[in-house]
Each structure stands twice: as structure tokens, then as C-alpha cells.
Chain A
């Protein structure tokens, strides 16, 4: 018991000294590694991922009316297969945002974690 306690104390002191001596260097290296990648992310996100602003409302309503108009007059049948495929992918992406939102709302990646007295049987 005493030996285990001694080992734990030794481990603690070694962790402490290594944190003090190498911590700043490791943190600096991590910052340096992440800086170009973060800047690249910002470069694209600033243009592509910004949420819609109130200034976009006319463009949004125009886009909607264009889609409704194309459905009403049958113009959508003149789309090429490639364009239709691209539109399908865009709709799929919007659907995926919904599912990510659902994961955030239920605070779990897979399934709903409900507190209950249910004990699932193990497989081992």
C-alpha cells in the first residue's frame, strides 16, 4: 500500500515537472500547427458558412419564387441530368444539417439517452 502511494507521488511529481518544463513548448507547437489550418478554415467559412443575414431576404424570396415558378410552368423538366443530380445533392446536404441539429438537440450521437431502470443484457 505504501509502495503504491510512493509510486503515485513519484508519478505526480514527474508529471508536474514535465508540465512546467515542456508544457509551454508543447502548447506553442500546437498553436503553430493549428494556425495555418485555422486560417484556411476561416478563409472558406467566412464566405461559405455564414448564416443568412436580413440583407439576403430579397434574394431568398427570389430564389423561392424561381423554384415555385419552375415547378408550375414545368420548366424543371428542361434541367440536364447533371444539374438535377447537383440539386439532389444540395437537398441531401440540407437534410443532413437537420439530422446534425437533431443530434445536438437530443445531446447524443446515436439514439436518445433516456434515464430509466432498464438494464440491457451484456453480450459477454
Chain B
């Protein structure tokens, strides 16, 4: 015959379910904080790229002018 179900102590049940809820809360909070950090890094990279583009365009414009003057 299958073993009878065990009457689990309420303290253990309370511990289990509170650990589960705490884990869900911690997991979602940590994920959100990591995603926020990554978004900040991506935004900074975009800005740096935009600055680079502007510098490159300015440098090319300078070169054209210099070549034009030489000619």
C-alpha cells in the first residue's frame, strides 16, 4: 500500500512558502536592477557613438577643406 501522506509541521510549511515568495521577489528585483544597469551602459555607448560620428564628420569636413585649399 502506498505510504500515507505526512502531516508536515506548519512551521516548515510557513518557511517553505515564505522562502518561495522571498525568492520570487529577490529574483525579479535583481533582474530589474541588472536590466537597468545594462540600459545605462547601452545609453552611454550610444552617446559615445554619436560623439564619435560627429567628430568623424567634422574631421572629414576639415580634410575636404584642406584638400580643396591645397588644390
A residues with a Cβ closer than 8 A to B are: 40, 43-44, 46-48, 50-52, 56, 59-60, 63-64, 90, 93-95, 97-107, 112, 114-117
Contacts and interface: CB of A to CB of B under 8 A. Distances in A.
Given A60-B10, A101-B27, A104-B27, 16 more contacts: A40-B2, A43-B2, A50-B13, A51-B13, A52-B13, A59-B9, A59-B11, A94-B19, A95-B19, A101-B21, A101-B25, A101-B26, A105-B26, A105-B30, A107-B31, A112-B31
Contacts of B25: 101, 105
A101 B22 CA distance: 7
Given A93-B16, A98-B20, A101-B20, A52 B10 contact: yes
16 contacts: A52-B13, A52-B14, A56-B10, A56-B13, A60-B11, A97-B20, A98-B20, A98-B26, A99-B23, A101-B20, A101-B26, A103-B23, A105-B24, A105-B28, A116-B42, A117-B42
A115 B31 CA distance: 11
**Interface SS majority for chain A:** helix
B10 A101 contact: no
A62 B20 CA distance: 22
A105 B52 CA distance: 39
B23 A60 contact: no
B30 A100 contact: no
A56 B20 contact: no
Given A52-B14, A114-B38, A100 B20 contact: yes
